[in-house]
């Protein structure tokens, strides 16, 4: 489903071998949050997705785990930014900004995606779901 969608939006997209359910479960345990179904199904199709010019549309499971743990535990970030434990980062814009699902009381309760601005620490709503995020990244909109 996801590979077909992205390939339909841009033939230059690149995909990797699928993630395993065990690897996703390990990341969920480490981050203490269940991934939304749409994110799981995307990772189970391709453990990381790249767009034209190798734009990182979706990190692989290991990077999702690593980046989120780094942002949540780096002590100097506590003096620079609001806490990150309420975000589940899954991709970046290539300029320092990152894309995330909101985490409320340890759960992702909706599919909305937010962008975190690294310069001013703002967290802004971007799109209602992963499909629209991919369309937005690839410069298209669903009809």
- pLDDT digits over 73-128, tens only? 999 999 999 999 999 999 999 999 999 999 998 899 999 999 999 999 999 999 99
Extract the runs of DSSP E, i.e. beta strands, from 54-94: 56-58, 87-92
d(CA 101, CA 10) in angstroms, rounded, equals: 24
Looking only at the bridges linking them, the beta strands covering 87-92 and 98-102 are antiparallel
Looking only at the bridges linking them, the beta strands covering 56-58 and 87-92 are unpaired
Cβ neighbours of residue 52 under 8 Å, at least 6 residues apart? 10, 12, 13, 138
pLDDT in tens, 17-62: 999 999 999 999 999 999 999 999 999 999 999 988 888 899 999 9
Q: What angle do CA 74, 111, 130 make, to 5 degrees?
A: 90
Residue 142 has pLDDT above 80, yes or no: no
Q: Which class is domain 2-137? A: alpha beta
Please name the helix (run of DSSP H) or strand (run of DSSP E) that holds residue 44, with its range, or none.
helix 37-45
Residue 141 has pLDDT above 60, yes or no: no
pLDDT at site 140 = 64
d(CA 88, CA 67) in angstroms, rounded, equals: 9
Looking only at the bridges linking them, the beta strands covering 49-50 and 98-102 are unpaired
For the chain, the average pLDDT equals: 94
pLDDT at site 106 = 85
d(CA 143, CA 65) in angstroms, rounded, equals: 34
Q: How far is CA 61 from the centre of its chain?
A: 10
21, 47 Cβ separation under 8 angstroms: no
């Amino acid at each position: 489903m996801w590979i077909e969608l992205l390939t339909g939006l841009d033939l230059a997209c690149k995909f990797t071998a699928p993630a395993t359910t065990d690897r996703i479960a390990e990341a969920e345990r480490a981050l203490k949050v269940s991934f939304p179904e749409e994110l799981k199904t995307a990772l189970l199709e391709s453990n990381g997705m790249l767009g034209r010019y190798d734009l990182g549309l979706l990190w692989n499971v290991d990077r999702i785990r690593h980046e989120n743990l780094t942002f949540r535990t780096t002590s100097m970030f506590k003096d620079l930014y609001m806490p990150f434990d309420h975000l589940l980062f899954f991709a970046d814009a290539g300029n320092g900004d990152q894309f995330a699902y909101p985490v409320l009381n340890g759960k992702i309760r909706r599919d909305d995606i937010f962008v975190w601005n690294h310069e001013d620490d703002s967290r802004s709503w971007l799109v209602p779901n992963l499909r629209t995020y991919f369309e937005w990244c690839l410069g298209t909109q669903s009809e």
